[in-house]
Amino acid sequence: MCGISLAVVAAALLAAANTAPAAAQTAAPAAPVVNDVTPANPDFQQIRIGYVEWKEKSLTLSLSQNPPDDLGVAGALSAIRDNNTTGTFTKQEFHLLVEPAKTLEEALAARQKLIDQGVVAIITDVPADAVLALADADADKAGILFNISAKDERLREEDCRANVFHIQPSHSMLADALAQYLVWKKWPRWFLLTGALPADQEWAEALKRAAGRFGGQIVEERVYSETDTARRTDSGHVQVQRQMPVFTQNAPAHDVVLVADDSEIFGTYVPFRTWDPRPVAGSAGLIPTTWTPNHEQWAGFQMQNRFGVLNTRPMQSLDINAWTAVRMVGDAATKAQSNELAKIREAMLDERFSVAAFKGEKLTIRKWNHQLRQPILLADGFSVVSVSPQEGFLHPNSLLDTMGYDEPETKCSF
């Protein structure tokens, strides 16, 4: 009974922080600092959370979309501050320890260093192969790893691991979210443009699967064969302006151009350059995502303001993914009234466990593959156009399970 009361009061404290004026929020608690484990309150339970940060960042086609140096880490730090707000009541204090990595070997060394420093969970912003290596370094799979960036389906299916929790939606979840909206709009005919790299191919397969599930039709698929691009040449816009209409001409009748370009090779160049005037969606145009700087519903506006005050930049999807992971540890520690890994994990795996993340409903963990259920925002760079799941798509248990692989379909076996 006491645990329930603590959780309720802690949630109320955080809700008050979320709605407080921005100026008031900068006063207390103090802004957390990466790798500072000095207790502010030595008599509180100390809870350390690790973060393996992949330093091999890819270029974006749009200069304004190049990732900031603190992408993801800033979101985690914001959540550390939120956890410490509730921690003033629950007598728990949270710290973030960040280790960089550029290779698989460095990622494994970073994990061991974090374990040696006593972290109870590790957030991983690393590629799929590194996620698996980090998971398998935990022999009994009793730890907590959060995947906040890898969309690969295999991590939730045949290569799933019991110690990995997926905050980042999979390709299939994102594709299903987009497909539901396009079908709801009665735009069922899709002209699919696919990149040549493996990540693009997986994204395309997810979109084709979504078409089959929800009544869409891929009228044609074309592969953009280039695997690199002249991003900064003076004549680049002229080349693209001539190339894209030719690449997209003579397509069958279609309502929407879908772009599968996870690798950032050509997708940004598609809108307004197609042969036929059609809306664009997928990797460009209308994009399914966990967050956008323009999201303001369900207290999202307050979250945007608080993040902006702390970081002097907009919040991005990797930031909210990291924020959610840290908040899950905070909520589980509050419910467990413990700083022990086993008890925090047990609380997080309780079927009643959920986390609030400015999405209009509580987010929960799918028991069959540890994917976080969550609404998906559909954004165009200026506003949130819609939020999936869409009206009319039904499920016997949770409407959120209309997106991604459902329990009867899963290949995951822990």
Strands 280-282 and 376-379: unpaired
Sign of the alpha-carbon dihedral angle for 224, 156, 210, 375: negative
- Residue-wise burial string across 228-252, b where 16 or more C-beta atoms lie within 10 A, e elsewhere: ebeeeeeeeeeebeeebeebbeebe
On the question of a common fold for 2-169+291-374 and 172-289, the answer reads yes
CATH class of 2-169+291-374: alpha beta
Cα–Cα dist 76/122, whole Å = 11
Q: What was the pLDDT predicted at 261?
A: 97
Q: What was the pLDDT predicted at 22?
A: 41
Q: Residues near 349 by Cβ (< 8 Å), separated by ≥ 6?
A: 365, 367
Cα–Cα dist 268/12, whole Å = 42
**Please, are residues 71 and 316 in contact by the beta-carbon 8 Å criterion?**
yes
Sign of the alpha-carbon dihedral angle for 203, 205, 208, 213: negative
| Nearest residue to 46 via CA among 109, 96, 101 | 96
Helix or strand run (H / E) with residue 303: helix 300-311
| Nearest residue to 354 via CA among 367, 366, 364 | 364
Q: What was the pLDDT predicted at 23?
A: 39
CATH number of 172-289: 3.40.50.2300
Residue ranges covered by each domain of the chain: 2-169+291-374, 172-289
* Residue 106 vs residues 59, 115, 134, 140: alpha-carbon distances, Å: 22, 14, 11, 22
Q: What are phi and psi of 357, to 5 degrees?
A: -145, 40
Q: What is the DSSP letter of 67?
A: P
**Please, are residues 152 and 200 in contact by the beta-carbon 8 Å criterion?**
no
Q: What was the pLDDT predicted at 374?
A: 98
Sign of the alpha-carbon dihedral angle for 86, 367, 358, 261: positive
Q: What is the DSSP letter of 223?
A: E
pTM over 0.75: yes
221: β partners = 192
**Please, are residues 98 and 73 in contact by the beta-carbon 8 Å criterion?**
yes
Cα–Cα dist 225/399, whole Å = 37
| Nearest residue to 322 via CA among 143, 122, 152, 175 | 122
Strand order in the sheet with 256-260: 217-224, 189-195, 256-260, 280-282
119: β partners = 48
Q: What does the pLDDT profile of the chain (414 residues) look like in tens digits?
A: 444 444 444 545 455 455 444 433 434 567 788 888 899 999 999 999 999 999 987 778 888 888 999 999 999 999 999 999 999 999 999 999 999 999 999 999 999 999 999 999 999 999 999 999 999 999 999 999 999 999 999 999 999 999 999 999 999 999 999 999 999 999 999 999 999 999 999 999 999 999 999 999 999 999 999 887 655 554 556 577 889 999 999 999 999 999 999 999 999 999 999 999 999 999 999 999 999 999 999 999 999 999 999 999 999 999 999 999 999 999 999 999 999 999 999 999 999 999 999 999 999 999 999 999 999 999 999 999 999 999 999 999 999 999 999 999 999 999
